Structure formats: C-alpha cells, structure tokens
Chain A
Amino acid sequence: MDFPAGDLSPKATQILDAAITCIGRVGLTKTTLDDVARAAGCARATVYRSFSNKQQLLVALVAREAGALRAAVVREAASCDTLADAITATITTSVEFLGSHPALTFVCAHEPEVLIPYLAFEREDAVLRTAAVLVAPAFTRFLDDAEATRLGEWIARITLSYLFSPSENFDIGDDVQVRALVDDFVVPGFVKSEGVSR
C-alpha cells in the first residue's frame, strides 16, 4: 500500500477532507460522491475527475489517513531517546489519532459491520502487515529494518486487541500504563534479541 499524501493535488486533498466531514456526519454507507462534492464546494464532475467512484475515493482516503498516522508516529518517536519511549509514543499517538478521527469514530459507533471483517483472519492479517510497515520507521533508530517491522506488527496486535476488546484494568490511551506494559512485556524480548539497542 502506498501512502501518497505528497502526491495528492490540492483539489484531491480538499475532496478527501470533505469526505471525512460527510462520513463523520452520516456514515460511510449514506455518503455519496454528490454529498462530498457539495461539502467540498465543487462540481460533481470535479470529484469524478479525481476519483472515478466511491470505492476509489475510499481507497485513497484510507491511504492518505494511514500516511498521516505514520507521519504523526514518526514525529513523536523522533523526540524519544529510548526504544521503550518510542514504542509508548507510537501506541498513544495511534490511539489518539484513531480515537479522534471523525470518520472512523462514526463508523465504529454506527456501522461496525464495515470494520468487523478487518478484525479476523486474512483481512486482519493484511491490517497487521500494513500497520507494521506504517510504524516501523519509528524504531529504525534502535533496530534494523526487519526487527523494526516485526516490532511494528506486534505493537499493532496489542493496540488492536485493547481497542476492540477494552479492559477494565488497562487504558491503552494512558501513557503511564502503556509505558509499564511496554517495559514489562515488550521491550525485554526485543532488546535481548538484538543485544544492545543502537
């Protein structure tokens, strides 16, 4: 999957922003390209020039938002001095990004059937593999590429588990609790397997 935030024209960007607004208001199923055109303040034809159908628009939207998430994670991790800090920042930044995303939160609350296929079996595999590649750059200061991707997948797993099966005892958005989880269960295996962090 590409994360082409830099390749989008200003018009396409505006259209995708409008799509987020529409989906955040009425959901994925009810949002039409006409709605998006109206919200973007442009003609239908303009939308169709950038995105031939709703599916194409959604693919581009997901790719762009994934790129935005990656940028946020990399930015936060860049100011971290240790692997444990970088992992913690990755998790809390991701949880904050996903939890405050207007389109995603609407779909989670009102159209869960859209997301459920991605929580099991082959489509969940695809989500985990994509998420791994997405967040791995946050760790390449500390680990080689293969280890960083491996760690990325593991973090995606943990985060997904707590997001969709919340715990009474643990808040995945709380950086103190996440740091404890990371220190106690995640880092020891990865640091040991590498020897010394770079």
Chain B
Amino acid sequence: MSAMTEASDPRDPLSLHDRLLEATYRCVERFGMGKTTIDDIVKESGISRATIYRQFPGGRDELLLETVGWELANYFNRLADQVRDAPTLAALLQQGLMYARRSIAEHAVLRKMMDTEPERLLPLLTTEAAKSLPFIADFLLPYLRREAEAGRLRPGVDIDRAAEYLARSILSLIGAPGRWDLDDPARVAELVDVELLGGIVRK
C-alpha cells in the first residue's frame, strides 16, 4: 500500500506537495499546531518520513508555515470565486468584504487556533498574509481595466497604484474591520464608496 500511495507522479510533482499540506492541515485541525508531529502527518498522508523531509527539508516548521500559506491561498481562491462575476468594481468590493468577513468568522480551524495557540499561529499568518498582497492586486487589475473602458475611472488614475491601494485596504479590513460593521450592507457600501473608491471611480 505504501508504494502506491507514496509514489509521486513525475508528470505532476505538485500533487505530492499539496497532499502533504492537506494532511498537515487535517492534523492541525485535530491536534493543534503544537502537538502535530511528522509521525501524525505520515499516518494521515500515507507518505514516508523520508519523502516528507525531501519535500520539506525544514521539517515541521516549514510544513506548518506552508500549510498556513496553503489554507490562506484556499481562502482567497474561495473569495475570488464568490466575487468573480460581480458587475462592477464597487459590487465586487462590497460582496467581497462581506463574504471575507463572514468566512473568517465561520472558519472553525482559525477560531480554534486563535483560542488555543495564537502565539504559534499569528507569526505565520501575518507573514503569509503579507504575501497575498500581489495576488489580490493582480486579481483586481482586470476589473479596474473594465472600469476604465467603461469610462468610470477618475481621470489620471494609475491602475497599478490603484490595485495596490485597494489590495492593502482589503487585506487590512478583512483582518481588522475597526469601526466598520462588515455585516451591514449599507455601511459596507459607504466604506467602498468613500475610503476605497473615492479617488478611483467617478461619482
């Protein structure tokens, strides 16, 4: 059995890597970050220690960091899927912020980690979250271009700078909404209109 489950497909080397991250995630969900061992991951994935260390020479620490990054990427992919078909940039941002906030509130593993081991999770999460910025900005570019083509951008707006500004704003709001109730559509609409798009989209 171990030969079958362990063999990595040379045509698709990423699958082994991802299988290990998924297995690590499942272990963390069950045992927490502090208590998850390589042995747990061996049992969960069916992949040998030797192969695991080949994929992740940094061992447990590297696996945990990349697993946080992996789930964060999953989170943003789910978010992107939710908002991809929005008719305007404003609608995209409104729907995105509301969905993003709800899905953080409902993320069981995140809640559990924040309750039991925030000091283990947060350094990894803040590091990995910062890496999301270029991806969020890239996702927004086509929507900014669409606004430009429709004549809806304010004159002189640099699309790349606007994308970076919006990406930073979004990442900040998702993690810490501050004064904003992101469950209230009217407040979200106001936030998007003033703080986010006030300098980007024509009134």
Q: Residues of A with Cβ closer than 8 Å to B?
A: 112-113, 116-117, 119-122, 124-125, 128-129, 132, 149-150, 153-154, 157-158, 160-162, 164-165, 167, 169-170, 181, 183-190, 192-193
Known: A183-B199, A189-B198. 5 other contacts (CB 8 A): A121-B175, A167-B164, A185-B200, A187-B199, A192-B194
Q: Residues of B with Cβ closer than 8 Å to A?
A: 114, 118-119, 122-123, 125-126, 130, 133, 154, 156-158, 161-162, 164-165, 168-169, 171-173, 175-179, 193-200, 203
Question: Who on chain A is nearest to B193 by CB?
Answer: A189
Q: A129-B179, A185-B199, A192-B203 are in contact. Are A161 and B114 (CB under 8 A)?
A: no
Flag if B125 contacts A125 (CB, 8 Å). no
Chain A residues with Cβ below 8 Å from B179 are: 128-129, 132, 149-150, 153
Question: Does more than half of chain B's interface fall in helix, strand or loop, or is it mixed?
Answer: helix
- Chain A's nearest CB lies how many Å from the CB of B134? 10
Q: A154-B195, A184-B157, A190-B194 are in contact. Are A124 and B175 (CB under 8 A)?
A: yes
Residue of B158, B178, B198 touching A188 (CB-CB under 8 A): B198
A150 CA / B177 CA spacing, docked (Å)? 12
- Chain A's nearest CB lies how many Å from the CB of B85? 26
A113 CA / B124 CA spacing, docked (Å)? 11
| A-B CB contact pairs (8 Å), 11 listed | A117-B119, A119-B126, A120-B125, A129-B178, A157-B169, A157-B172, A164-B130, A169-B164, A184-B157, A189-B196, A192-B203
Question: Does more than half of chain A's interface fall in helix, strand or loop, or is it mixed?
Answer: helix
Q: A112-B123, A120-B125 are in contact. Are A165 and B198 (CB under 8 A)?
A: no
Residue of B168, B169, B198 touching A192 (CB-CB under 8 A): B198
Question: Who on chain B is nearest to A131 by CB?
Answer: B178
A181 CA / B130 CA spacing, docked (Å)? 20
Chain A residues with Cβ below 8 Å from B196 are: 189
- Chain B's nearest CB lies how many Å from the CB of A46? 34
Chain A residues with Cβ below 8 Å from B176 are: 120-122, 124-125, 128
